[in-house]
Structure 1
């Protein structure tokens, strides 16, 4: 289970569990926290309606509020029994209240509007991670916006998404793929970094000093 929505729900679950100071007693060891959160998140997630599983900013009108979801009948008995037996909550009603808080936080995050992309500016290039002068790369190139919307590749709210790249990394991205391919297949930094050529470039570029020339020039053997 690795959908973006589930991972967001899991983080909301962790926040609720950690905020309750009995969590250390429940897990026994901080190294067990991940497994404990994963288990409870999966149990809680399984009882939620499909509209919550697929919650996004675009679908927000169809996503019920936390207090509109019938958690009492939908929640897994294993979820409530585990929380009660480990002393994280006192009873079944308390377990449902905890889950409702998780659902409320998850819905707010999943249905939040996309960021104002100019506010996402970083100090380091998002590919080579050097702290150098940056440019912004339209992850969905402007030249294909009309086609992207017409083909239904992305929602219009995604058209302004950008990544902050140094000029060499920016040029490399456009060198390895055409605008249509970038828009359809590589519209996030994470997707770009899955490319082998970008990974190789990243390793090379991250070692280069900005604004300086090497003292020695490589010459091929004759």
Structure 2
């Protein structure tokens, strides 16, 4: 069976790993790769049997995610239980399920956690030119578009205050290449901005400029 790949699965696997490290019968001196392999195996054995709403849990879908104590574990692979029992990490199936529920509780808490307060994500380098210079924050979804963004359903409400930390020159360049509505709808992350050829050209130019020297803020053609 191939191992699932998703951000949620990784969170679940890490939750299992942390619970394994808490077990008195776990050999904490083992190589980290051994722990990774073991937690990956346990996660892979139990993940497919979990409700889809749990496997796709996010902050936006949190109201549809059941509490870990109410999730049925009847269809969980017996390999999960047998492995914990054979390694002395659980005395019986009930204890194995208790371990899994605690791991699920940790996972659900993380998967459904609210996004960070955007202004607290401040960087030390401009997210476009990567120079270590004084930064400003650029509202990735301009404030003037917030009402329309919600009305049209372009983005969820929690994204409205997302910001990128940009130097003044890169900040000006971003607003030069697109209007506020286009920025809000199509270029609401740094990654999307960097997919633009004009921003890539600007980035190559700006990254070579020394801070404090007067230079044009107009992106190269």
Scaled by the length of structure 1, what TM-score is found?
A: 0.75
How do 1:96-111 and structure 2 match up within 5 A?
96-111=97-112
Query: Structure 1, residues 84-121: CA drift from partner, whole Å, max 9, x if none?
Result: 34444444333222221121112212222333322222
Query: Structure 1, residues 15-69: CA drift from partner, whole Å, max 9, x if none?
Result: 22344462557xx643344443333323332121122123233332222111111
Alignment partner, residue 217 of structure 1: none
User: Is the alpha carbon distance of 1:179 and 1:46 closer, same or farther for their aligned partners in structure 2, counting shifts above 3 Å?
Assistant: farther
In structure 2, C-alpha distance between the alignment counterparts of 1:14 and 1:88, rounded to whole Å: 13
Alignment partner, residue 219 of structure 2: none
Q: Is the 8 A contact 1:23 1:88 kept in 2?
A: no
Alignment partner, residue 32 of structure 2: 30
1:57 aligns with 2:59: yes
Gaps of 5+ in 1: 215-222
User: Is the alpha carbon distance of 1:56 and 1:83 closer, same or farther for their aligned partners in structure 2, counting shifts above 3 Å?
Assistant: same
In structure 2, C-alpha distance between the alignment counterparts of 1:7 and 1:15, rounded to whole Å: 12
In structure 1, C-alpha distance between the alignment counterparts of 2:77 and 2:182, rounded to whole Å: 43
Alignment partner, residue 7 of structure 1: 10
By how many angstroms is 1:157 displaced?
Answer: 1.9
RMSD across aligned positions (CA): 3.2
Alignment partner, residue 81 of structure 1: 82
By how many angstroms is 1:191 displaced?
Answer: 4.3
Q: Is the 8 A contact 1:17 1:23 kept in 2?
A: no
By how many angstroms is 1:133 displaced?
Answer: 0.9
In structure 1, C-alpha distance between the alignment counterparts of 2:144 and 2:206, rounded to whole Å: 27
1:163 counterpart SS class: strand
User: Is the alpha carbon distance of 1:31 and 1:55 closer, same or farther for their aligned partners in structure 2, counting shifts above 3 Å?
Assistant: closer
Gaps of 5+ in 2: 216-221
More displaced 10-residue stretch of structure 1: 4-13 or 170-179? 170-179
How many residues of Structure 1 are paired with residues of Structure 2 in the alignment?
Answer: 211
In structure 2, C-alpha distance between the alignment counterparts of 1:91 and 1:65, rounded to whole Å: 23
By how many angstroms is 1:135 displaced?
Answer: 0.8
In structure 2, C-alpha distance between the alignment counterparts of 1:10 and 1:196, rounded to whole Å: 38
In structure 2, C-alpha distance between the alignment counterparts of 1:75 and 1:144, rounded to whole Å: 47
